Chain A
């Protein structure tokens, strides 16, 4: 009966296993699986994070900063409508290169470009116009908040540098003042954003993470990533012919590269 039919089967299999064609088929399958895994591994390595994003509001000076860092020369710039990227040699001795990516700051474009590049970000340079800061503090804080509560930014925790640009103008606010104002504004923002009505599909609007610690006032030291403030001037104090005042920025870039 059943046992009888089961008996001849393993005996039939054994010669089949020894058959070279079956062995070769198995080997071929193993080889394919191995190459597939290798390919995925290589792809994973290729997409490691080595980009430094230049973010900020419109007219903050990102594109000029980009040009200055890469070429050292002054260029007339227009409002960016697409991203520009280039490899930046952070320091002369190390072979550490980062890809500097300049994203447009316009309200209708900034979020979609951020979506595209945030996964590859090793560090973020948030450029702030120190002259117009007093007027724009709410918009600056809103954009910064959107960057900070983004899920992949929270997960990867790229180093954050807030570059207070346009320091060559006399009316520019200092980095200390900008830091204080931003902390106050972000403190208010996290209250209002988390108090907003819940989202349609039930997830909270402010993201699962609350910025900073709940009981205390917001402070940049409460964030999971390292935050630094730096003063710089893309135009440079000596006008267009002279050098830009970006040494602090370059030092920071060399550090994180």
Chain B
């Protein structure tokens, strides 16, 4: 029902539009006069027309020859002189840049050109003419761009020269992520005795180098956050888009249009909808919806409403708002509803545990919500095994152990027929997470646990080795449900996180149909008042439902999503 953007045929959009128009024009009479019964009874001999249109579309996509690159003589650059590129404005920082630029251009003329900026600077050398030219707007723009590039090259060169010696003696030992080599032993701070009993803790094998990291810093000094961007004189020239001059259709035409709108025979055009859509887009962005998603949403609403005839006494604003509301509700109610209890019952019948994996970036609330979900499952009479596959973060295992103890205190074995409702499966720190997960699942199968909740370490979506490790865990253990935990405070980051997580899972899976994220848990919902846009961003990107919403830190703070309430909060002024 609609095609995805994976089709790389460039003519598909245009072909669909052409077919649509041709079909409508050819059978216009039938549509207008006969109605549905007529449609059912008549035959539509469209095959020849369709083949013709298809052939035309294919021809047009082939006909465009690859554009030939302009030679240097043809480009505008060769027409200009060096002197005209020099800024004539009298500001002080510009003068500084001017002198630097001359030096830079000379230096760069000799280097091998890699970046476009470098290439253009180098090419300027041969142009010899010395007369000044009138600077047009385009040339100012180009000039500024070149300055920008040159300044970046400047910084790179400067920083490159003093650094090489410092780098060699830095001595920062790289943190070894690969588990299974000798360092793993060093990282294992736990012991077989109960953690928490003070007397039983022996002297730990503590490697100060690994723990401290950078040895060469002054002890006690807090360094600033480093980032190299020269922000002194950097202004990006923001190109002001020419303000759309709203042409007021004068007098009689305007009156007539308004009357038509009242009567209800006016059809919506792009120009009518644009101001309203702009406002709605800004409103959505103010409500924490990711910017690109707000843009796409408004685009699709515009496309859907184009040409629609408005009803009586409805304004453009109300029609657009209505359509946007419907679209938002539809986004939040995606296709398959994830019913965890139903699936757990199914797995129970087949005598195997139901495995749920929690993944997400650092600090979103994976362990907290895992505890909440296990509480909910226990309330419904299912026994839970928590697998502590977060073997990196200090205190992760202890955190889960505390939760287990509390949950067992809330639901003691006596009230559930003598069986422990929740148990923790852990193997300490530093071990391979995928291995622990596999062992936990087979342990659950042997002991007859209904659900296995696998807690993984938080990781940034850009960290390739960690994403590979996560993908391996999921591919090897084939969990029944992969839940992505995301916090409601996130803004545009949500898009990036989800895209990269899904991509990592798809890339590293060997199977035909890779296991992707099956559902989303939206956490920290109590911290946002009505800026609920993150829900929209996340479901739009993955088209998977939000299974749970976390609204606090106690065990009862687990909710399910109510699409209409969220959309009402989103559309509220």
Q: Is the interface of A mostly helix, strand, loop or mixed?
A: mixed
Contacts of A196 on B, CB cut-off 8 Å?
339, 341, 560
Known: A108-B335, A192-B342. A67 touches B566 (CB 8 A): no
B376–A197 CB distance below 8 A: yes
User: Complex: how many Å from CA A197 to CA B525?
Assistant: 15
A67–B562 CB distance below 8 A: no
B:17-57 near A, CB below 8 Å: 35-37, 40-41
B334 (CB) vs chain A CBs: closest residue: A108
A:88-123 near B, CB below 8 Å: 104, 106-109, 111-112
Any B CB within 8 A of the CB of A23: no
Q: A-facing mask of B371-394, CB < 8 A → 1, else 0?
A: 000001000100000000000000
User: Complex: how many Å from CA A108 to CA B36?
Assistant: 24
Contacts of B336 on A, CB cut-off 8 Å?
107
User: Complex: how many Å from CA A85 to CA B40?
Assistant: 11
Known: A112-B326, A198-B559, A199-B559. A189 touches B342 (CB 8 A): yes
Shortest beta-carbon contacts, A-B, top 7? A192-B341, A107-B335, A86-B36, A199-B562, A201-B565, A192-B342, A200-B562
Known: A107-B335, A142-B337. A192 touches B345 (CB 8 A): yes
**B62 vs chain A, min Cβ distance (A):** 29
User: Complex: how many Å from CA A203 to CA B548?
Assistant: 15
Contacts of A195 on B, CB cut-off 8 Å?
341, 380
On A, residues with C-beta under 8 Å from B are 67, 70-71, 73, 75, 79, 81, 84-86, 104, 106-109, 111-112, 138, 142, 188-189, 191-193, 195-201, 203, 205
B40–A71 CB distance below 8 A: yes
Q: Among the listed A67, A79, A142, A189, which residue makes an inter-chain contact with B40, where contact means beta carbons less than 8 Å apart? A: A67
Contacts of A199 on B, CB cut-off 8 Å?
559-562, 565
User: Complex: how many Å from CA A138 to CA B337?
Assistant: 11
User: Complex: how many Å from CA A191 to CA B340?
Assistant: 12
User: Complex: how many Å from CA A200 to CA B564?
Assistant: 10
Q: Among the listed B37, B335, B559, B565, which residue makes an inter-chain contact with A70, where contact means beta carbons less than 8 Å apart? A: B37
A205–B40 CB distance below 8 A: no
Residue with the highest number of chain B CB atoms closer than 10 Å, among A70, A85, A188, A200: A200
B566–A192 CB distance below 8 A: no
**A234 vs chain B, min Cβ distance (A):** 14
**A187 vs chain B, min Cβ distance (A):** 12
Known: A142-B337, A200-B565. A108 touches B330 (CB 8 A): yes
Contacts of B566 on A, CB cut-off 8 Å?
200
Any A CB within 8 A of the CB of B437: no
Any A CB within 8 A of the CB of B504: no
A106 (CB) vs chain B CBs: closest residue: B1
Any A CB within 8 A of the CB of B356: no
